[in-house]
Structure 1
Amino acid sequence: METVTDSSQDPNPKEHFQFHVIVLGDVAVGKSLLLRCFADRSGGGPGGAATPSPTISVEFYNRTILIPTSKAKLQRWDTAGSGEYPLKPLLGMPRSITRSFYRSAAGVLLVFDLTNWTSFEHIPEWYHEAAGDQPPAFVLVGHKCDLLAEQAMSGEEAGHLTTNLGMAFVETSARSNFNVELAFQTLAGGIQQALG
Structure 2
Amino acid sequence: PPDSGTITVDGTDIIKTDRDAFLARFGMLFQGAALFDSLPVWQNVAFRLLRGSLKQPRATARATALDKLRRVGLSADVADRLPAELSGGMQKRVGLARAIAADPEVIFFDEPTTGLDPIMAGVINDLIREIVTDLGVTAITITHDMSSVRAIADDVAMLHDGKIRWTGPVADLDHADDPYLAQFINGRATGPIEAVR
Whether these two folds match at TM > 0.5 is: no
Structure having the higher strand fraction is 1
TM-score (norm 1): 0.34
Higher RCO (CA < 8 A, seq sep 6+): 1
TM-score (norm 2): 0.34
